[in-house]
Amino acid sequence: MELKRADQIAEQLEQLVFKGEYADGERLDEIKLAEHFRVSRTPVREALQKLVMSGMAEQIPRRGVFVRQPGPVELIEMFETMAELEAACGRFAAVRMSEGGLDRLAKANDKCRDAVERGDAERYYVENEAFHQEIYRGAANSFLQNEALRLQNRLKPYRRMQLRFRGRMAQSLSEHEAIVEALRAGDTEKAANILRSHVAVQGEKFQQLMAGLKG
């Protein structure tokens, strides 16, 4: 139960950081946060560790946890790199993915569709992660898979935030359908191009959303 609460606190802290409530380099005080969220320090500690793991915060020994916000250039560079990693995974998966992998991918997309129908953005993000991870796995290149997973985790708060953009979940699902079709057809370039655009759009939507929050 506390772990679930920790997830909620981590997401709320992400939103507060995005809205500028916490500045880059600011210390996140465990005691004050526990008072703010009216919980014990345990779920707050768990939440802070989630932020550290995602790269949104940095833990400095004997000093505490501090907000770590990438600058706009760094963020753009991360999305650009993620787009190319996804494209490479798609290109390899189009010729290397097994029938079992394609079936798992289709089932993962079915779960994404169910989340869209329910209007559940948080659930969609979880299922969307699983969908992309099937593509990384299907690329049959463990080094590429690990690099894609690492950056996926680093961009997690930003990719999740852009799903709040109106109509983005339905658009994302439509892109998924095209990705599955390209992979089943073994079309390497189509799969790569759709995945590249899919991630690039995420970065663009996130920037628009951030501009709206700070406007």
The CATH number linked to 57 is 1.10.10.10
Residues 47 and 77 in one domain: no
215 compared with 151, residue with greater pLDDT: 151
Sorting pLDDT into bands at 50, 70 and 90, what band is 162?
A: low
Of 40, 67, 94, which marks where a domain is finished?
A: 67
pLDDT given for residue 160 in this prediction: 74
> Per-residue pLDDT for 80 more than 80?
yes
Distance CA 94, CA 19 (A): 40
> Number of folded domains in the chain?
2
> Per-residue pLDDT for 130 more than 60?
yes
**Residue 17: domain span:** 2-67
> Per-residue pLDDT for 88 more than 60?
yes
Sorting pLDDT into bands at 50, 70 and 90, what band is 200?
A: confident
Distance CA 128, CA 108 (A): 8
Residues 116 and 24 in one domain: no
Residues 50 and 80 in one domain: no
Of 32, 67, 102, which marks where a domain is finished?
A: 67
Say what the pTM is.
0.74
Closest CA to 201 of 79, 109, 99, 35: 79
pLDDT given for residue 213 in this prediction: 46
Find the mean pLDDT for residues 168-194: 94
| Token pair for 18 | 């995005």
Find the mean pLDDT for residues 64-70: 88
Residues 106 and 208 in one domain: yes
50 compared with 168, residue with greater pLDDT: 50
